[in-house]
């Protein structure tokens, strides 16, 4: 049973760090939202047969899904629920609000940006069973929010959280970014403390990535020595970013959050089950322009062009052909399985690995694994292989060394 992701490409303004396919409303044709809603409904109809047994979770991402008006949200969610069934909750009784038992319901997440939520929109979301909001807070420092092109301030974050709680949502994630231009360790500590004061069930902490083609990349990637005009902010160096990450991990553990994935922290029972499908190399179906699917060992990606996306779907095809198709090799499946599993606190189940690939992980990566186990970077115990949390911040370079033969 795959998870279901639906990409909503619209946003109010493109952020300076964002490399996802998105369309700012300021440069958007009046009919583009209508074209999108009709096209994604058609794709849902055409591709529902790829999840005949239902889907395990729903995630609306973007862009900014909550930029849609209430009637537009209703249209989108109606098309999704008309064409896809959702796996039955393990417990049909009504558990206490916010309890661990409540998380046995099917997880349905919508991404939102502060300032784009209203009571009317939340009423629509809740009416379709949306029970989790992922709020793009990013920082509680107004100056830094302006620098990275965000449209909100810290008070907008607080107001949005209040609306979310009033709307009956008891599973809230806050996205936060560290390593921002001019950000100090003290700045980051202040942001984390303010975030925890809002009592979210989940926090996602991401190091700033200079993605090709973004304004921040153009400013800093072409300036490797970090030379700026007097008074301009500079990027924190790797050591400062490592300090930010380590402090956050320790602080959030003290506040009762479990570090269950390299960038993610959750109260007990509130781990993001949709994202766990990716980290556990399970199947997923993606709808919308730019969305990616991985089913039966085949990865596909829809075109990142709304107009072309609509034309392809309105052409009357009996089957929708995504723009890109890649049949994963055995080597790709193994390396991706290892890479994703080691991002999690649980790591790799060694018996499950052997059963899946008919070869033990030691037979494939033996000498390199031994090297890192001996150094205490990797830990092998209780039938699992996992990364020592002390080395989470340098995980990417570790994986490159292990996987690249």
At 293 the pLDDT is: 96
Classified as helix, coil or strand, 225 is: coil
Q: What is the pLDDT of residues 173-193, one digit of tens each?
A: 999 999 999 999 999 999 999
Q: pLDDT at position 222, please? A: 61
Model confidence band, residue 381 (pLDDT cutoffs 50, 70, 90): very high
| pLDDT tens digits, one per residue of 239-255 | 999 999 999 999 999 99
Find the mean pLDDT for residues 314-332: 79
Q: Which CATH number fits domain 3-279: 3.40.50.10860, 3.40.50.2300, 3.40.50.2000, 3.80.30.20?
A: 3.80.30.20
* pLDDT tens readout for residues 270-299: 999 999 999 999 999 999 999 999 999 999
**pLDDT of 304 over the 50 cut:** yes
Identify the band that residue 91 occupies on the pLDDT scale cut at 50, 70 and 90.
very low
Q: Is the pLDDT of residue 355 over 70?
A: yes
pLDDT digits (tens, 9 = 90+) for 392-403: 998 888 888 888
Is residue 152's pLDDT more than 50? yes
pLDDT at 216: 85
Q: Which of the four pLDDT bands, split at 50, 70 and 90, describes residue 25?
A: confident
pLDDT of residue 100: 39
pLDDT of residue 165: 97
pLDDT in tens, 384-394: 999 999 999 98
With 60 as the cut, is the pLDDT of residue 312 above it?
yes
Residue 92 scores a pLDDT above 80: no
pLDDT tens per residue, range 207-226: 998 888 888 888 887 655 55
Spatial CB neighbours of 159, under 8 Å, sequence gap ≥ 6:
114
In the chain, which segments carry CATH 3.80.30.20? Answer: 3-279
| Cα–Cα dist 309/19, whole Å | 19
Q: Are 105 and 19 in contact (CB under 8 A)?
A: no
Residue 101 reports pLDDT greater than 50: no
Asked whether the beta carbons of 303 and 309 are under 8 A apart, the reply is yes
Do 101 and 91 form a contact (C-beta atoms < 8 A)?
A: yes
Kindly give, in sequence order, each residue whose CB lies less than 8 Å from that of residue 53, ignoring residues fewer than 6 positions away. 1
Residue 68's pLDDT is: 97
Phi, psi of 193 (to 5 degrees): -65, -40
Lowest average pLDDT, out of 83-92, 99-108, 224-233, goes to: 224-233
pLDDT digits (tens, 9 = 90+) for 364-373: 998 889 999 9
Angle at CA 293, nearest 5°, toward 277 and 395?
50
Task: Report d(CA 405, CA 389) in Å as an integer.
Answer: 24
Question: Count of residues for the chain?
Answer: 405
Regarding the domain delimited by 330-403, which CATH topology (the fold level of the hierarchy) does it fall under?
Arc Repressor Mutant, subunit A (1.10.10)
Residues of the chain with CATH 1.10.10.920: 330-403
Per-residue pLDDT, averaged over 24-36, amounts to: 87
pLDDT band for position 154 (50/70/90)? very high
pLDDT, tens digit, for every residue of 34-60? Answer: 999 999 999 999 999 999 999 999 999
What does the alpha-carbon distance between residue 88 and residue 78 come to, in Å, rounded to a whole number?
19
């Amino acid at each position: 049973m795959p998870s279901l992701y639906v990409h909503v490409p619209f946003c109010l303004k493109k952020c300076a760090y964002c490399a996802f396919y998105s369309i700012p409303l300021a440069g958007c044709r009046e009919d583009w939202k209508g074209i999108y809603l009709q096209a994604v409904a058609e794709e849902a109809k055409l591709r529902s047969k790829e999840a005949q047994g239902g889907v395990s979770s729903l995630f609306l991402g973007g862009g900014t899904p909550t930029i849609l008006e209430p009637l537009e949200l209703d249209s989108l969610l109606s098309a999704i629920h008309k064409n896809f069934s959702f796996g039955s909750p393990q417990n049909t009784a009504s558990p206490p609000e916010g309890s661990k038992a409540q998380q046995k319901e099917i997880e349905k997440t919508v991404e939102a940006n502060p300032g784009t939520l209203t009571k009317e929109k939340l009423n629509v979301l809740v009416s379709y069973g949306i029970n989790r909001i992922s709020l793009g807070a990013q920082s509680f420092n107004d100056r830094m929010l302006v620098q990275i092109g965000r449209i909100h301030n810290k008070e907008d974050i607080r107001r949005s959280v209040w609306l979310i709680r009033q709307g009956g949502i008891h599973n809230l994630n806050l996205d936060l970014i560290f390593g921002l231009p001019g950000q100090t360790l003290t700045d980051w500590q202040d942001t984390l403390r303010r975030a925890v004061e809002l009592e979210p069930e989940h926090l996602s902490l991401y190091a700033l990535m200079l993605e090709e083609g973004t304004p921040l990349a153009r400013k800093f990637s072409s300036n490797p020595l970090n030379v700026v005009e007097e008074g301009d902010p500079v990027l924190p160096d790797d050591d400062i970013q490592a300090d930010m990450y380590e402090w956050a991990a320790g602080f959030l553990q003290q506040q009762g959050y479990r570090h269950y994935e390299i960038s993610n922290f959750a109260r007990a029972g509130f781990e993001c089950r949709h994202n766990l499908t990716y980290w556990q190399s399970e199947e997923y179906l993606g709808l919308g322009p730019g969305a990616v699917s991985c089913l039966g060992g085949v990865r596909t990606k829809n075109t990142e062009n709304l107009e072309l996306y609509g034309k392809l779907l309105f052409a009357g095809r009996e089957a929708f052909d995504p723009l890109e198709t890649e049949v994963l090799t055995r080597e790709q499946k193994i390396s991706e399985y290892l890479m994703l599993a080691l991002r999690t606190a649980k790591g790799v189940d060694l018996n499950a690995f052997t059963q899946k690939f008919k070869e033990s992980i030691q037979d494939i990566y033996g000498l390199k694994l031994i090297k890192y186990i001996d150094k205490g970077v990797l830990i092998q115990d209780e039938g699992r292989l996992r990364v020592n949390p002390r080395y989470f911040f340098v995980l990417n370079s570790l994986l490159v060394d292990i996987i690249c033969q």
